Amino acid sequence: MDIPGLSTLYAILKRDIDRKNDVFAQRKELAAELMENCREWSRLLIEAFHGAVSRWETEGRSAAENDISNLERDFLKLNYYALQSSSPILLFLSGDAQFAPFADACGEFYRSALGVKRLVFGDIQTHPDVYVSMQQVGIRAMVEAWEDEVERMLRAVTHAHMHIKTLTPQ
């Protein structure tokens, strides 16, 4: 499974940051760009999972497992695991305590995206201390649970970004 635009989405996270004179304004601009990146990432993830469900229904579980495994391999090539310590944009945003919660929410969002194998091979938390598996609820319910997780993580990023929009230089 190849997600169109995946490398473009990742590029923002590895791009070098040239500090401008107005660092505060630059952080706000970069936060807006990163917010849009998370929105796009969510959209692409959900589209990919809907595609996997279609394959599951038409070609069987092994076809969907193969799609999910390929997707996970693609993600692993992007090395999201090291983002908090290596992404110039996340480090730059974290350098100001006002922007750190947003950078943390983004890091959590990307780490959550890496857990795609849980769709087929593992459990997804649907409520506090409640986990379901594909064998219990079926592939459609698992995808819905995954979508809920993606949306929950995006809400956390959005909430942190809304706080940034209200910040003024100190």
Asked which of 4-8, 76-80, 85-89, 159-163 is least confident by mean pLDDT, the reply is 76-80
The number of CA neighbours under 13 Å toward the Cβ of 29 is 9
Output the pTM of the full model: 0.79
More reliable by pLDDT, 119 or 141: 141
More reliable by pLDDT, 150 or 11: 150
- Please tell me the predicted confidence (pLDDT) of residue 63: 78
Question: Residue 106: pLDDT above 60?
Answer: yes
More reliable by pLDDT, 102 or 122: 102
H-helix or E-strand spanning residue 130? strand 130-133
CA 49 to chain centroid, in Å, comes to: 13
Question: Residue 30: pLDDT above 70?
Answer: yes
Question: Residue 84: pLDDT above 60?
Answer: no
Q: Among 75, 68, 41, which Cα is nearest to 52's?
A: 68
Region 109-130: what's the mean pLDDT? 68
